[in-house]
Amino acid sequence: MLPSSTVENYLKTIYLGSVGSDGKEAHLLPMGQLAAAVGVTPGTATTMVKTLAESGLVNYEPYAGVSLTRAGRRLAALVLRRHRLVELFLVRVMGLRWDEVHEEAELLEHVVSDRLIDRMDEMLGRPEVDPHGDPIPDAEGVVKKQQAQTLLTCPVGTPMTVTRILDQDKQFLRFVEHHDLKPGESVEVESRDEAADSVLLRGKDNRRITIGTRAASKLLVQVARVMLLVLALATAARAQQANPEAGFPSTGPISGYMEFHVNKADGDPTVMDFHRFVLLVNHAFTSKVRFVGEVEIEHAVVEGLEESGELELEQSYVDFLLSRPLNFRAGMVLLPLGIINERHEPPVFNGVERPFVDTFIIPTTWFDAGAGVHGEIGRGLRYRAYVVPPLNAREFTASEGIREGRQKGDEAVAAHVAFTGRAEYLGVRGLAVGAAVWRGTSQLLRTPKIESAVTLGEVDARYLRSRLELRGEFAQASIGNAAQLNENIGRGTGVPPNIARAIRGFYGEAGYRIWDAGSPRDLVAYVRYENFDTQFRMPAGFLPLKEFDRDAWETGLTYYPDPDVAVKADYIYLRNQSGVFANRRLFNVGIGWWF
């Protein structure tokens, strides 16, 4: 049963009478004081208090007084929470004066639901104090302790800031306002005159004010530097006030990640490459309708008609977050294939460059215009499924498989549509296992019309336990009508591209956090083996180019001066099966960060 407004008023009055301004329960509240505060006779108050004691809400000591039990104290704090949030709401949102909201709050505190109060709390930016500086208990009824200095007890000659007005009588509040002594105002006690019961203050604009000691005892203050923090919080709260869906920033701060690499390969000059500069933005139209966008500059410079950098829109979608198991997404989406395609922020993977398998077999970063659904079914089982345009088969190659066939949402031809989906299991701590597929009928864009059914399947797993992280991935794609593609493209260019009918790759990686004392003492060593072959199975009449049957041993270090900054160095021994082309040693160092 919900407590009645009478019960709540008693509990609140006992709370206010027995709990000091510093939040500590100071004493038993005498019954006479309680009766006077509630406005009833002592006999009536005693009868009510006995009832409250039977309910376990108060401790009643005859001839001594009453105090709250833990349960009573919590209920009282929640009444105060409602009262103070309502006061703040009326002042900030509805524009009422601070000296006329107390009476309204006295009524509303008994009828406002917890849900509405929580929304008010969010809308106001989870304020810590009401317009009078009274602390607002949190949703659990916990009150943040305040320092309990008054203008009577604070040090003389020290800049202070008014934090709280203990008396909410209208006339007193107007007196406070008139003298610019509202919470947040600066003040300094110049002197106290005990004989005259007065305190001399230096207030706003160095104005001197003399107030009585009784008034001074009702004004709580803090040293000014502490107040700076309070003001900062108040500013943050005001910033959130404009947010229609509080608790979720309507337009989030810009985030992003960057990677700077230095690459040295046998026989090649050293290359210094600002590989990626990526900015992410997000916006919540409502808490359920959200936009995320990601713009990427690769290799720093983008110039038209030159083999140079790239400016790409890698993500730009709107999510309709309807429920846990079913949500809709539409726009430019990342395809849910492999470990890296959706988790490619530099601090989350080892190695300066992304794994070869996630480059040559799964063409990371693989994104396209599309729409689909995603969600979580049951405990730890998640899925995503999108419809996207197919690949452009004219761009398939021997060395990079299907990679150059990505249409990237660039007026993508979608005579057929492709389907991609992923299921992943996250139900065991530290373990993520996924399987994904992409299937679509790709075309030679323009003429002649040759269709090529492409199916890419992959499985991947990550396991993190203590200092050890293991990763593995296997991916294979089949390319239909590869012979026809080769013949047709070859007729145009004079050289058949030697497209395979199947490409395949896999890798395994073990990483160990050899220094695990928290950044900046955070160092991971890893070793990885990769095998990737973009000529894995050839169509009849075509021989594989064995230089594209490759494997690599890779080892390196990732150092985290901060969890969002990764300094990397690695060594790769890259082999091929041709017997003609030399194996290569690669040295890479780089730094990547996320913010």
Partner 1 sequence: MIRMLVVLPLLVLAGTPSRSAGLAQSPSPRVIEINAERFQFWPSQIIVMEGEEVELRLRSDDTIHGFRIVGASTNLEIPKRGHGNAVTRFTGSRPGRYTFECNRLCGAGHNFMRGEIIVRSAATGGTR
**Which residues in 293-322 contact partner 1 (CB under 8 A)?**
294, 315, 319, 321
Percent of residues in the chain assigned helix, strand, coil, to nearest 5: 25, 40, 35
Nearer to partner 1, 240 or 478 (CB): 240
Minimum gap (Å) between residue 191 Cβ and partner 1? 43
188 is a contact residue toward partner 1 (CB under 8 A): no
Site string for partner 1, 252-271 (x = CB under 8 A): xx-x-x--------------
Minimum gap (Å) between residue 342 Cβ and partner 1? 5
* Contact range with partner 1 by CB under 8 A, out of 14-22, 39-47, 117-125, 571-579: 117-125
* Contact range with partner 1 by CB under 8 A, out of 428-436, 497-505, 534-542, 544-552: 428-436
Minimum gap (Å) between residue 491 Cβ and partner 1? 41
126 is a contact residue toward partner 1 (CB under 8 A): yes
Site string for partner 1, 545-564 (x = CB under 8 A): -----------------xxx
Cβ(401)–Cβ(363) below 8 Å: yes
Q: Hey, which residues between 447 and 486 contact partner 1 (CB under 8 A)?
A: 464
Cα angle 580, 586, 589; round to 5: 165
386 is a contact residue toward partner 1 (CB under 8 A): no
Q: How far apart are CA 287 and CA 294, in angstroms?
A: 20
Please state, in angstroms and as integers, the Cα–Cα distance from residue 548 to each residue in 361, 577, 581, following that order: 12, 8, 10
Placement of tokens 């709280």 in the chain: 164
Task: Say which residues have a Cβ less than 8 Å from residue 76's Cβ, sequence separation at least 6.
Answer: 8, 11, 12, 14, 15, 68, 141
The amino acid that residue 501 corresponds to is R
Q: Hey, which residues between 223 and 252 contact partner 1 (CB under 8 A)?
A: 247-249, 252
Binder to partner 1 among 166, 289, 426, 510 (CB under 8 A)? 426
Cβ(529)–Cβ(350) below 8 Å: no
Q: How far apart are CA 339 and CA 317, in angstroms?
A: 21
Q: Tell me which H or E stretch contains 331.
A: strand 327-334
Nearer to partner 1, 180 or 345 (CB): 345
Nearer to partner 1, 175 or 328 (CB): 328
Cα angle 289, 276, 467; round to 5: 85
Q: For the CA atoms of 222, 224, 229, 232, what is the dihedral angle to 10 degrees?
A: 120
| β-strand partners of 251 | 283
Nearer to partner 1, 42 or 380 (CB): 380
Minimum gap (Å) between residue 528 Cβ and partner 1? 20
Q: For the CA atoms of 105, 111, 113, 117, what is the dihedral angle to 10 degrees?
A: 0
| β-strand partners of 585 | 573
Cβ(48)–Cβ(31) below 8 Å: no
494 is a contact residue toward partner 1 (CB under 8 A): no
Task: Say which residues have a Cβ less than 8 Å from residue 261's Cβ, sequence separation at least 6.
Answer: 271, 272, 273, 274, 275, 352, 353, 588, 589, 590
Binder to partner 1 among 282, 350, 364, 486 (CB under 8 A)? 282
Q: Hey, which residues between 43 and 102 contact partner 1 (CB under 8 A)?
A: 71, 74-75, 78, 86, 89-90, 94, 96
**Residue positions counted in the chain:** 595
Minimum gap (Å) between residue 282 Cβ and partner 1? 5
Site string for partner 1, 129-148 (x = CB under 8 A): ---------xxxx-------
SS3 487: helix
Binder to partner 1 among 25, 54, 114, 268 (CB under 8 A)? 114
Closest-CA residue to 234 (of 163, 139, 178, 165): 163
435 is a contact residue toward partner 1 (CB under 8 A): no
Nearer to partner 1, 3 or 480 (CB): 3
Nearer to partner 1, 35 or 91 (CB): 91
Q: Hey, which residues between 333 and 362 contact partner 1 (CB under 8 A)?
A: 334, 342-345, 347-348
* Contact range with partner 1 by CB under 8 A, out of 190-198, 376-384, 472-480, 534-542: 376-384
Nearer to partner 1, 148 or 426 (CB): 426
Q: Hey, which residues between 190 and 229 contact partner 1 (CB under 8 A)?
A: none
Task: Say which residues have a Cβ less than 8 Å from residue 38's Cβ, sequence separation at least 6.
Answer: 9, 10, 13, 45
